[in-house]
Amino acid sequence: MKKLTALVLALAMMCALVACATGDVPSTSPAGSGTSTTGDSSAANDPPAPNTPPAAEKKTIYILVKVLGNQYWSIVEAGARKAGEDLGCNVVIIGTAAESEVEKQVALLQDAVSAKADGIVIAPLDRKAMAAPVSEQFKAGIPIILIDSSVDTEDYSAAYLTDNIAAGRLAAEAMLTKLRAIGTPEDKEGVIAVTVGSTGSQAIIDRDDGFKEYWDANAPAAWKVLWDEIKVNDGDAQKALTFGQDFITSYPNLIGFFAPNNGSTVGFVKALEESGRTDITMVGFDFSAEMEAIVRNADYNVATVLQRQYYMGYDGIKKALEIANGGTVTEKVVDTGVMVVDNANVDSAEVQNVVNGG
């Protein structure tokens, strides 16, 4: 009888253990959805604690670049995406197909507002035409962060830009240094040709002004910049190439090319390579694949002004998110800095760190 009782008790304990092991487990629901990037979702597998309020919805920051997918702007876009990943916000990247599409940029800005963006990062295509649209949205309470270029209004939250006048001076100094390094006669007339992506971009206007200021103060009288013959290429490198070819054909005394933006630089680089004119000195902006290749070719006398556009994208998103979350601005305009890159320093740790977004 005792053995039978013990057996019954053992069976009862086993049934109880099986019942515990098969009990219901609380289900989990997916973390919030992302558009271009998402933040930390490590808590997605943890069950919600009783009476815990729902997690705050992710903020969404729009970034309007000038030319979507362009070599220069693709680096800005990479910085913006990384900020979204690091900071846990949605990042929506939009832009135009050409620097001349100012009306399109106005429409894209309105689209971002209509989509209830929590903050907007924008690279204005035209300092005058974009002033009123930017001001209107800022006054409506939307955090507005400028990158790359400014506008004719103080109605914005913050700006992350190159000091473009200083960058223009630096470009002129580099041009003079290189012309003198190869022994260009200072008493013989020579001309410098210029092409620009836009006449309305404040960044380009400032770079040209800085270049002119330094040049007029330091260049030999015989070396002239063709300011009255600037060619506008709308950010189209193919147009810039054609202008470069025309300058080479028209000016036997051409000694230099100056290109104050990426598309212009790429076009002039191709004009030099196609013509084989290693005697023409060039200073451009940014670090496209074309510019890197010619900088590494010691046959050419070329330099470029390297901007930190990756950080414009990253820090622009970061600041917009901070303001959207109630933060404040302590420094309204931030100079993101530049450096001159040529064959002598292209592989330095400092240059490679900027090129690789480190």
- Which of 9-23, 62-76, 325-339 is the most confident on average? 325-339
d(CA 206, CA 127): 11
Q: Does residue 257 have a pLDDT over 90?
A: yes
Q: Which pLDDT band, with edges at 50, 70 and 90, does 358 fall under?
A: low
pLDDT per position as a tens digit, 314-334: 999 999 999 999 999 999 999
Among 35-44, 90-99, 186-195, 259-268, name the one with the lowest average pLDDT.
Answer: 35-44
Retrieve residue 249's tokens.
Answer: 């054909």
What is the secondary structure of 63-74 as a DSSP string?
EEEEETT-HHHH
**pLDDT > 70: percent of the chain:** 84
pLDDT at 204: 93
Phi-psi domain of 116 (left: phi exceeds 0; alpha: psi -120 through 50; beta: other): left
Contact between residue 181 and residue 162 where contact means Cβ atoms under 8 Å apart: no
Question: What's the pLDDT at 69?
Answer: 80
- Lowest average pLDDT, out of 25-29, 132-136, 338-342, goes to 25-29
Contact 64/122 with Cβ under 8 angstroms?
yes
Please determine, for residue 269, whether its predicted confidence score (pLDDT) is greater than 90.
yes
The mean pLDDT value of the chain amounts to 87
34 pLDDT above the threshold of 70: no
Q: Residue 244 above 70 pLDDT?
A: yes
Report the sign of the C-alpha dihedral through residues 125, 66, 103, 60, in that order.
negative
Give, in order, the Cα–Cα distances in Å from 304 to each of 188, 273, 284.
25, 16, 5
Is pLDDT above 50 for 20? no
Report the pLDDT averaged over residues 89-107: 95
pTM exceeding 0.95: no
- Please, which pLDDT band fits residue 52 given cuts at 50, 70 and 90? low
